[in-house]
Amino acid sequence: MPRRMLFYALLIEEKYKSFPIQVVLYVGNEKLKMQSFYKRKNLSYRYEIFDIRNLDCKYLIESESIEDNLISILCNINDEVILLNRITSRLLSLPDKKRLDYLKKLFILARLRPKVYNKLEEFYKEQKMPIVLDPKIDPLYKKGWNEAWNEAWNEAWSEAEKRTKIQDAIVIIKKFNIPVEKVAKEFGLKEEEIKKVLNET
């Protein structure tokens, strides 16, 4: 990173004949560990790095620009509910298409702050925001669909496994004339489940 910053600075100086003042705004969720200098023999270069969580985001939160409001969720937030209420009220004043666009951006930004992302999901569900959503791209719809699909798949798979076990149990019962209760116990099945299929066949 420091080497790249020096490279960018030299390219800018080459083009504009002026050496830039470089500032990096860190928005990651992990603790800031990036170096802000590049040092070699006879060369020393430094630039500034700011962690957005250490900046006063009051102006972003209070700004009339919804873009500023969205970015403010990356700051060190004292009260997520107040912030989300503000963003929600701004979203509700927008036409459906813009509202959805900003909602997507909000969820993308929130992924950088897992705690805020969880709060955002809860808040969104509780508020029951009347937003026209595109099921193909809405993050909550996708999550709900994936959860429902996984649940249905697991249920179907469990049922298929159980049927296979019952069929295997019936083969053993018929071929070796072993009592149902013993086979049921061995296969982890209920006697009634095996007897029902036996009666049907």
- pLDDT, one tens digit per residue, over 90-140 is 887 888 788 878 888 888 888 888 887 877 777 766 655 544 444 554 555
Instruction: Give the tens place of pLDDT for each residue, 67-87.
Output: 888 888 888 877 777 777 788
Is 198 in contact with 178 (CB distance < 8 Å)?
no
Phi, psi of 126 (to 5 degrees): -65, -40
Contact 26, 55 (CB under 8 A): no
DSSP codes of every residue in 5-34: HHHHHHHHHHHHSSPPPPEEEE--SSPP--
